[in-house]
Amino acid sequence: MRVLLLNPPGRRNYIRDYFCSKTTKSNYLFHPIDLVMLSGRVAAEHEAAVLDCIAEGLDVAGAERRIDAFAPEALVSLVGSVSWPEDRAFLAAQAARGRRVLAIGDVLHENARERLVEEPWLEAALGDFVSADVLALLARDLASVRGSTVRHPDGRVETVGTPGKLRGEYDLPRPRHELFAPRGYRFSFARDERFATILTDWGCPYPCTFCVMSTLGHAARPIPSVLEEIDHLRAHGIRELFVMDQTFGAQRLRGLKLCAELERRGDLSWTTYVRPDRSDDELLAAMRRAGCHTVMMGVESASAEVLASYEKRYALSDVREGLARARRHGLRTVGTFIIGLPEETEASLRESLELALELELDFMSLNMAVPRFGTPFRRRAIELGLVDERDLVMDQGGADAKLPTRALDRSTMLALKRRMVRRFYLRPSYLWRRARGVGSAGELLRQAREGLALLVKNFGVEHRP
């Protein structure tokens, strides 16, 4: 059948991806990994197309025209808590035109059965984007579904299996990157304007309680399958990659084997996530030889108590040592922080900023604490009365502050976050170091655009203690 993989239109620059929807902190937009991975599976059995309305800048009317031109029988669509009112209105209108609608996204990751009962236009909620469930659902072979929520022909709604909980190994047909728009995607850390987003594993084996990845289990993709995808990209002139694994090298020997294969190819350039306590000298050296130039590490907080209470399972000393090792191996460092947890105060935010400065990070990424669906943190936030469990709309990107803390209201929290961004990025010494660290005029221009977009979003009402 004709199947359209869809990232719906939106009023803002939404990222609906891997159960973590948000607005972008500057103007970056990487390929939605859900659709990337689904593309190979769907295209293997159906006439498939991809329409990323966010990347192509399409409004509702423009999106409708493009969908009508392809005339799909079924839509497999992203949805997000950041854009849920817009998504449900758009997709309900498509269903009213006789099109089947299957969806995947964070807003469906928890209580998917209730969502399907509330939304009669929605035929199914996919529990993951790497298994064969999408094909079973399109074929209406409900007996073969392994982890999704489905609407039976008689209207009965049922969750089959345990959505998202994968273990061991998975494989899938080569993702069809060529179906995605050639322009419209931007990545803050890419050395080259042309890049691809790939995934070599699923989920994360670590139990961080505020992160949805800890709810997904962990499974690895066979290295030959990964290399087939990468070699296809290389054959089409793409050598810059965003490797979206949440903990590259979580299976250490596998990570070293993959790096050896990438080093043998000798023409790749890439960015990924690592844990500070898992990235030893051997792994970092192998990654650098394989073309990795930037690593993202979860610093999260300057508070040892916060790291412990949210099950990070590493200490501040691990953070300092991990980032120091990365710098020694010539890797750029991105420190990610979560701010706005219930324990947050003005003093703790100042401590986190001072830590970011001490660590000599190349980039600082601030993520606002939000009660992600399915996480222990969401249950705690509901118990503390910080969020209503019926509220489905949230944004981790930081354009808004979803939660107050015990000491700070939402507006104060947002003002302090903006102040941290300005203080980190507007240091003359930092700007000079960044300008010296770029590899080409094109990269300098892209980073300048990203930086300007970031700062524009973080100029607001100043909060003074």
Within-domain flag for 115 = yes
Are 251 and 357 in the same domain? yes
> Is residue 404 situated within a structural domain?
yes
Would 461 be classed as within a structural domain?
no
Task: Write a three-state SS string for 63-123.
Answer: HHHHHHHHCCCEEEEECCHHHHHHHHHHHHHHHHCCCEEEEECHHHCCCHHHHHHHCCCCC
* Pairwise CA distance, residues 412 & 409, whole Å: 5
In this predicted structure, what is the pLDDT of residue 175?
98
340 and 234 in one domain?
yes
**Residue that finishes a domain, picked among 98, 132, 164:** 164
207 & 331 share domain? yes
Q: Are 104 and 224 members of one domain?
A: no
Domain harbouring 264, CATH code: 3.80.30.20
- 171 is a domain residue: no
Please tell me the distance from the alpha carbon of residue 319 to that of residue 336, in angstroms, as a whole number: 11
Measured distance CA(72)–CA(435) in Å, rounded: 47
Question: Which residue, 236, 101, 106, is CA-closest to 182?
Answer: 236
Domain check: are 248 and 106 in the same one? no
- Alpha carbon 234 to its chain centroid, in Å, reads 24
Task: State the Cα–Cα distance between residues 296 and 205, nearest whole angstrom.
Answer: 17
Contacts of residue 224, defined as CB under 8 A and 6 or more positions apart, other chains included, come to none
Query: In this structure, is residue 174 part of a structural domain?
Result: no
158 lies in the same domain as 229: no
Return the beta strands (E) in 301-445 as ranges.
332-339, 363-368
Examine the fold and report which residue of 164, 197, 226 is the final residue of a domain before the chain moves on: 164
Q: Does 41 map to a domain?
A: yes
Q: What is the CATH number of the domain that holds 53?
A: 3.40.50.280
Half-sphere exposure for 227 (CA within 13 Å, toward CB)? 15
Do both 101 and 196 map to the same domain?
no
Domain of 413, in residue numbers:
187-456
In this structure, are 100 and 205 located in the same domain? no
- Total number of domains constituting the chain: 2
In a domain, 443, yes or no: yes
Could you say which residues of the chain have pLDDT below 50?
461-465
Residue 373 is assigned to a structural domain of this protein: yes
Instruction: Check whether residue 390 and residue 242 sit in a common domain.
Output: yes
Q: pTM, whole model, 2 decimals?
A: 0.94
281, with CB counted inside 10 A (0-12, 13-18, 19+), is exposed
Sheet holding 332-339, edge to edge: 196-198, 240-243, 269-274, 292-300, 332-339, 363-368
Question: Residue 247 and residue 324: Cα distance in Å, rounded?
Answer: 18
Q: Does one domain contain both 202 and 154? A: no
Q: Are residues 125 and 215 in the same domain?
A: no
Question: Are 235 and 311 in the same domain?
Answer: yes
**Residue 401 in tokens:** 């502050």
